[in-house]
Amino acid sequence: MLVWDNLNVHKAANLREWDEARDWLTIYYLPPYAPDLNPVEEIWSLLRRGWLSNVAFATPEHLIQRIRRGLRHIQYRSHLIDGCLAETGLTIRPT
């Protein structure tokens, strides 16, 4: 299962063809603007609060380094990821 926002590249013809060739894959699209349903928005919120706030980035590489550090921190703390999903009200297993 793949959950995507409505970014136009996610609906491109070549991607639809790729999806149709994989019967095991189901793609769900979020409503046009639904940040409250998108767990990635919560991940960005964690990054902004924990690793990107109050920092003057000297270079783009410095910004990338901080984002990677934050994502690694979140990746190894499953309770943070679970919390981001819980904020949406969505579940991994359909009812």
Give this prediction's pTM. 0.57
CA–CA distance, 69 with 47 (Å, rounded to integer): 9
The alpha carbon of 77 is separated from its chain's Cα centroid by a whole number of angstroms, namely 16
Structural domain boundaries of the chain?
1-32, 34-95
Please tell me the total number of residues recorded for the chain in this structure: 95
Q: Which residue has the tokens 């924990």?
A: 50
Out of 11-20, 34-43, 55-64, 68-77, which region has the weakest mean confidence (pLDDT)?
A: 34-43
44-95 residue pLDDT tens: 989 999 889 999 999 999 999 999 999 999 999 988 888 888 888 877 775 5
